[in-house]
Every structure is written in structure tokens, then in C-alpha cells.
Amino acid sequence: MPKVGFVYDPIYLEHDTGPHVENARRLEAIMSRLEQSGLKQELTAIKARPATLEELSLVHDRQHIAGVQETAKKGGGWLDADTMMSQASYEAALYAAGGAIEAAAAVVKGEVDSAFALVRPPGHHATPHRAMGFCLFNNAAIAARYALTRLGLERVLIIDFDVHHGNGTQDAFYDDPSVLYVSTHEYPFYPGSGGIEETGRGAGEGTTLNIPLPAGCGDAEYLQAFEEIIVPATRRYRPQLVLVSAGYDPHWADDLALMQLSVTGFARMVTIIKGLTGELCRGRLALVLEGGYNLDALADSVKATFDVLLGKGEIEDPLGPSPRAGQPGIAPLLRQVARVHGLA
């Protein structure tokens, strides 16, 4: 059986957001599902640690880092209309970034076959210069930059299947060919970025690949996007490590957006990603938790993700398929993406 690692620390619960939709109950639901199912016993614990200032600075400027720290010292507060902090949020965010680093490092060093960093606050909206969209520091971006600068890698792929575009991750690597950033997201939707024409700049031209999907897309559309765009783009890029910004808010039961994915759909996407890593980069795969706000859908989807990583054939989907799947046609959109990126 594959050796699958997970990162979790109770400090993530201390990022106290009160009644905010991104709250500690998300991780509590995930850990409860893993424990009740017996799956946690099959996983290898990877110890989280706080990221250092130097590691945060691989992506974020010092002014932004200091601003988050200062807000925590003052007891917390709102950083923008969506993003709030408590007194413990800065430390929790350090451990979230450090947890993502440790997951990636364990995979690259061969200590585990794959890993999932179950962290919060999430990260993919945090730009080099500001916190936004529930995110303080960009955990996946920091892990990617760490792998490139400290672990000797030259090419990292980040696949982001959160329902929202990871504008912060895109910004961090927009002119950097050492990271291929690929995002499937509902469009137009928060934060408003992620159009097909956003493909990178300078040396990074072509290494930002956005698949802006219309509302209502479900399993069939996501799998079509993977098979027609993400698979050939990944094979062409030949990454040495694949990181996944794993957001489960495209699930049909999640009220924060309008996508129609099922637990089975997430499992199939992860199966494709796992197959690509086995083919191209010795199975090096690390996932970092982003969104997902329906507690049952989130917990079931994370469990299904671990089942795939563990090589289990049968996927449990207690919530079943979407009762509203409208199957919007996306063939013209995918043809346009393929043409822009030379995949046609």
C-alpha cells in the first residue's frame, strides 16, 4: 500500500473566525471523518512547524508579513471585507505555510509517496503584497518556492481546482517559468481574475493556464477539462513535483458557488493527477487544503481524496451526484484554451 502522509495541527483551530464561513469546524469535520472511518490509522503523520520569516519572504514582501503580525498583536480584526483574523491567526498562518512546506518536502525526499496538508487559514488568494479572500499567506506558493530554492527542483506544477481563481498564486509566478500554474474555476466570479488571456508575462509567458468555466459545470465538464487540457499541458511541462490547491467548494452542495461536482468527481480528478505524477515525476504529489464550506461535502471529499492516494478502488459518495447538473457545453471554451496554449 502507498505511504500517504498528512499534516494537521490543533493550532489551525485557533485561527478563530467566529461565525465566518471559513471556520474551525471545517477541519474538525475532516478529522472526525478520518477518525470515524478508521482511515487516519492508515496515514503517516507529518509534523507541522512554523514557516520562518525567510520562507514567507520567498513569496511575500516584508511589509505584508509585518502587517499580518501587527494585526494579530492588536487582537485581530478585519483585513478586508472577507478576511478576518484573531489574536492567534498569525501563528496559525505560520504553521499553515510551514505545514505545506513539510508536506512537499516529505514527498520530494521520498519519506512518503504523497501527502495532504490539512491546514487553515487557506492561501491561494493571498498575493505577494496583501491578504484577501480568507487567506493570509499563500501556503501552496510558499511550498512551491521552497521546493525550487531549497530542494533543488527546477519545475513545479500547481493545479488549483478550488471554485475560485487563485489570483495570489498566479501573481506570485506570473513571470516565472519554473512554475506552471493551472486553474479550473467558476468564471466570472470572485476574485474576477483568471481569464483565458492571462497566460503569464515575460519569461513566464505560457506558464499560467486558466480554464474559466461557466456556472453549473459538474463531473463531466471538469473531467473533460482535465483530459483535454490539463493532461497534455502537464505532459508537455514535465514537472518534478505536483502541488494541488485542493478546494472542495465546487461541490454541488456548497452554497458559496454554483458548480455541481460530486465527491466521485473530485476522486476522479485526483486519480488523473496521481496517474500523471506516477508517469512524470516519481509520484511526487502534495495537496494543500483551500476552500470547501459544506461540512459533509468537504469531509467526504477529503476522505475520498485519501482513498485515491491510498490506492483504494471503491470510492464512497454519501451525497451522490448533483440533482441539478445542467451539463453546460464547454467544448468551444476548451478549444479556445487549447489554441491559446498550443495544445490544439
Which residues are known catalytic residues?
125
What nine digits make up the cell of 339?
Answer: 489554441
What is the C-alpha separation between 99 and 143, in angstroms, rounded?
9
Q: How far is CA 254 from the centre of its chain?
A: 17
Three-state DSSP class for residue 289: strand
Query: Is the distance from CB of 267 to CB of 261 less than 8 angstroms?
Result: no
- How far apart CA 217 and CA 197 sit, in angstroms, is 21
Q: Among candidates 85, 101, 116, which has minimal Cα distance to 7? A: 116
Q: Locate all alpha helices (DSSP H) within 83-218, ordered by sequence.
A: 89-108, 139-150, 167-173
Residue type, 339: R
Q: What is the DSSP letter of 178?
A: T
Is residue 160 within 8 A of residue 124, CB to CB? The reply is yes
Task: Name residue 180's beta-bridge partners.
Answer: 157
Dig out the grid coordinates for 78 from the structure.
Answer: 478585519
* Overall residue count recorded for the chain in this entry: 344
For residue 251, what is the DSSP state? B
Beta bridge partners, 186, equal: 213
Pairing mode, strands 76-78 and 84-86: antiparallel
Report in angstroms the alpha-carbon separations of 177 from 173, 174, 204. 8, 8, 4
CA separation for the pair 119, 106 (Å, rounded): 16
Give the three cell numbers for residue 213.
Answer: 468555466
> What DSSP designation does 260 have?
B
User: Which run of H or E residues covers position 114?
Assistant: strand 114-117
